[in-house]
A and B are shown apart, each in its own frame.
Chain A
Amino acid sequence: MKQRAEPLILAHLWVAFVAFAIASVMGAAQMLSRSPLTAPAEGPEAYFISVTAHGTLMAYVLPTLFVMGFGYFVATTALARPLPGLRAAWLGFWLALVGTLLAALAVVTGRATVLYTFYPPLTGSALYYLGLVLVVVGSWIWIVLMILAMREWKYENPGRPVPLAMFATVANAVMWLWTTAGVAVELLFQVIPAALGWKDTIDVGLSRTLFSWTLHAIVYFWLIPAYIAFYTMLPQAAGGRLYSDTMGRIVFILFLLYSLPVGMHHLFMDPGHGTGFKFLQMMLTSLVTVPTLLTIFTIAASLEIAGRLRGGKGLFGWIAALPWHRPMVLAAGLSFVMLGLGGFGGLVNMGYGMNAMVHNTSWVTAHFHLIFGGSVVIMYFAIAYEIWPKLTGRRAVGTGAMRVQLWTWFIGVLVTTLPWHALGLGGQPRRVATFDFSEPQIAWWAPWILVSTVGGALMLASALLFIWNLVGFHRGPATGERHMTYALAVHPPMHLPRALNGFALWNWLVLFLMVVAYGYPIAQFFFVDGPPALIQRVTEAG
């Protein structure tokens, strides 16, 4: 790897993980606030400041900065060439950092207690939204650099397949560009003018629809680094090969296609849309299960190859033979368990009818903490453990602390989210600061919430141990070994159709799907008259 990109990558990843550590403390405090125990700062004001900050840091800062940093790492290592536009990349980083600080300032001063979802007519300080726009603009620079890096490599290597890790990274970059279009339009044309006081009313249906455009695809943007690790790092760490490179490409293409025209499943309960489009997007949502099922098959097959190469015998003997002491292998195994559980929960959310049962309950919060906080973030840890030695040229003293960290995270996530799912089915609402447990109808929630709170404390301990482990790398013995190798496929591709080596065809199909799925639902707001909603500003109410 070229030396120059390392400070850039480390800067991104450190900002991401420091944000993660701060937000973890807040998360544990929120669990306490909702529990029958006494929290340090109880009450709705403190709670909504805390939840907004937690959501903003965990959903916008951690994944965006992580994906950017990891993308720069892949672009320099998998393509083995310097990053085009290193200065532009630093500009993107500073924009994102300044944006984060501006948004954080607005939140901690209580001027943006609006949660991290942009659902008007409640609006916070314009500073909050402008800060987040800067984060997005920073990530747009990253998108351009990723596409440029791949394009230049293809030009230098005509006819050769783009390495899978880079192909997947660019798939994510292209998807992110499509994804951010919805929220960018909502923020720039609706929410920010409202927050600045230029308008008195807002079309809530339109803004919710634009937000849904972004809201689901964004979770796949967070998820794809985990899948990149499954396909390009895990088989190598397990001592085997990737079962199918083609399957990997198809999976990332399917994510690009079906992450976007599905966001309306967040609006099943909204009156602003007809049943037809909700049904259409529900059908499209069901297709998102396909890449995950393909991945489970391909990765299980890859691990089986590794297990048998290591001497595993019989139907399941290869599983025991896998090197579970390696953080990447252990994290992937734990991630699959959480992905399985969370995936079934996701099928419930996706069902037009079943969704009504869990809408606005703790079930939803539990679901995304299990899927994102669990199966995705544990892979962020594993990726960090894998690439930190390459970034610092130093190795850790041992992997014991890493295994303890991964196990505590896994147990913490399950102990937190499983009771939380049950509470959601029992009717516990989300986005509520405190409960009156003396009320007999909800008294039975208390013990479950206590269990969940213990899980939250475990997660916090694990998060802090993770930071400690990263610091450990910087103090470990120098090896000078910075070469990164990615997993080889059993049959490495020699020639690929353009469809599996670029995104032109898929962008046209995304355009088609978005026009079909969102064309009329957005257009209707311009010709069907509805009463506008009056804007409520948090800054005034305070």
Chain B
Amino acid sequence: MVEDRPPVPAEREALDRPWRIWASVAVVSFVLLAFLLGFLVVPERGKAGFDPFTAMCRALGIPGFGREPPESPAAERAAPASEVAWTSDTRRLLASADVKQGAQVAESICLPCHGMDGVGTTPIYPHLVRQSAAAIFKQMQDYRSGKRQGAQAAIMTAFAQMLDDRQIANVAAYYASQRPSQRVRPIATSPAIVELARIGDPARSLPPCEACHAGSGGPIEAPVLLGQSVSYLEQQLQAFASGERRNDIFARMRTIAQQLTPEEIRGLSLYYSAGSGTENTESDATAAMLR
């Protein structure tokens, strides 16, 4: 197409040239001014003490540039709370889990305490029904690696060590596939407890339980609280509060549980234990008592 154009006369060229030059000069100088301000003047002012090169690298966003290396002893002391990471490998393992094989594991190992339907046979054994595969998988892995301590953890560690990753994924998928026999609703013993569960307490930096434990929207491994056994919930909150249980990433649950009063622990456990029927005879009795 270029060769189709008629030749440009000299007077046209004289008309065009200043536009070319001045437009380019204007654009380039504005960019240079912005660079000067954004990469040198403003960063140096904000962070006194950086030489121009460091200031520029930091403004570029090169991770960690100019930052002091962390104190080594603290770094060595900090062991992770859990070894489970939600990488694509872990997710693929869970996605490819075999529910039938999981059922066999459940029948041979889990059945006496957790039932085939995921309903705990004794109040201190948690119900597995309503939990996601990721939630069960995370806890089983933590039992096996010894990261989860406190309460009945020793029993579970022994069982978990009998299983490999795939078997754990299978059995987690099996219990996640169980459908609860009934709908449960929270038991509101007092407005303060309902508020704690639904709104939290900003004055104590307590987020609402619902933010993570409502079944969706929270971290993938957060268990569903509604419908869990009351004694189990209370026991675990106490274990978090005392620091006996510490497989919560970023110490999230320890931080929260330490701030709760024993009455609040009791009230929240009851709030979530909920409903009536075979799963909750115990909480019904407790609720009646509290009322």
Sample of 5 further A-B pairs with CB below 8 A, known A284-B34, A512-B27: A274-B61, A276-B56, A280-B38, A284-B31, A509-B24
Do B16 and A513 touch (CB < 8 A)? no
A279 touching B58 in the complex, CB below 8 Å, given contacts A505-B20, A512-B27, A512-B28:
no
Against A, the Cβ 8 Å flags (1 = close, 0 = not) of B149-187 are: 000000000000000000000000000000000000000
Contacts of A274 in B (CB 8 A): 58-62
Contacts of A219 in B (CB 8 A): none
Name the contact of B19 in the complex, choosing from A287, A499, A528 (C-beta under 8 A). A499
A283 touching B58 in the complex, CB below 8 Å, given contacts A276-B43, A497-B15:
no
> Taking the nearest CB of chain A, how far is it from the CB of B2, in angstroms?
10
Q: Which B-chain residue is minimally distant from A521 (CB atoms)?
A: B61
A279 touching B23 in the complex, CB below 8 Å, given contacts A151-B1, A158-B6, A512-B28:
no
Name the contact of A505 in the complex, choosing from B1, B12, B19 (C-beta under 8 A). B19
The 10 closest A-B pairs by CB, nearest first: A274-B61, A276-B59, A279-B38, A200-B88, A499-B19, A283-B34, A276-B39, A276-B38, A497-B15, A274-B60
A534 touching B30 in the complex, CB below 8 Å, given contacts A274-B61, A524-B61:
no
List residues of A (37-78) whose CB comes within 8 Å of B's CBs: none
Give A439 to B208 CA distance when docked, in angstroms.
14
> Taking the nearest CB of chain B, how far is it from the CB of A202, in angstroms?
10
Do B34 and A280 touch (CB < 8 A)? yes
Contacts of A257 in B (CB 8 A): 27
Do A495 and B20 touch (CB < 8 A)? no
Do B43 and A275 touch (CB < 8 A)? yes
> Taking the nearest CB of chain B, how far is it from the CB of A166, in angstroms?
18
Q: Does B63 contact A (CB under 8 A)?
A: yes
Do B38 and A277 touch (CB < 8 A)? yes
Contacts of A284 in B (CB 8 A): 30-31, 34
Contacts of B19 in A (CB 8 A): 497-500, 505
Contacts of A500 in B (CB 8 A): 19
Do A280 and B35 touch (CB < 8 A)? yes
Give A513 to B34 CA distance when docked, in angstroms.
12
Do A497 and B16 touch (CB < 8 A)? yes
Against B, the Cβ 8 Å flags (1 = close, 0 = not) of A157-201 are: 010000000000000000000000000000000000000000011
List residues of A (273-302) whose CB comes within 8 Å of B's CBs: 273-280, 283-284, 287
Do B88 and A499 touch (CB < 8 A)? no
Do A280 and B23 touch (CB < 8 A)? no
A residues at B contact (CB < 8 Å): 151, 155, 158, 200-201, 257, 272-280, 283-284, 287, 439, 495, 497-500, 505-506, 509, 512-513, 516, 520, 524, 528, 534, 541
Size of the B side of the interface (Cβ < 8 Å), in residues, is 36
List residues of B (50-91) whose CB comes within 8 Å of A's CBs: 56, 58-63, 86-88, 91
Q: Which B-chain residue is minimally distant from A504 (CB atoms)?
A: B20
Contacts of B30 in A (CB 8 A): 283-284, 287
Q: Does B37 contact A (CB under 8 A)?
A: yes
Contacts of A524 in B (CB 8 A): 60-61
SS of A interface (majority): helix
Give A279 to B43 CA distance when docked, in angstroms.
10
Query: Could you write out 30 A-B pairs with CB less than 8 Å apart?
Result: A158-B6, A200-B88, A200-B91, A257-B27, A274-B58, A274-B60, A274-B62, A276-B43, A276-B60, A279-B34, A279-B37, A279-B39, A280-B31, A280-B35, A283-B37, A284-B30, A284-B31, A439-B199, A498-B19, A499-B16, A505-B20, A506-B23, A512-B31, A513-B27, A516-B31, A524-B60, A534-B86, A534-B87, A534-B91, A541-B216
Q: Does B92 contact A (CB under 8 A)?
A: yes
Q: Does B42 contact A (CB under 8 A)?
A: yes
Contacts of A499 in B (CB 8 A): 16, 19-20, 23
Q: Does B263 contact A (CB under 8 A)?
A: no
Give A524 to B57 CA distance when docked, in angstroms.
12
> Taking the nearest CB of chain A, how far is it from the CB of B91, in angstroms?
6
Q: Does B4 contact A (CB under 8 A)?
A: yes
Contacts of B1 in A (CB 8 A): 151
Q: Which A-chain residue is minimally distant from B38 (CB atoms)?
A: A279
Q: Which A-chain residue is minimally distant from B220 (CB atoms)?
A: A534
> Taking the nearest CB of chain B, how far is it from the CB of A522, in angstroms?
12
List residues of B (5-25) whose CB comes within 8 Å of A's CBs: 6, 12, 15-16, 19-20, 23-24
Indicate the member of A499, A528, A541 with the most B CB atoms within 10 Å: A499
Give A277 to B59 CA distance when docked, in angstroms.
7
Do A200 and B92 touch (CB < 8 A)? yes
> Taking the nearest CB of chain B, how far is it from the CB of A237, in angstroms?
32
Contacts of B27 in A (CB 8 A): 257, 509, 512-513
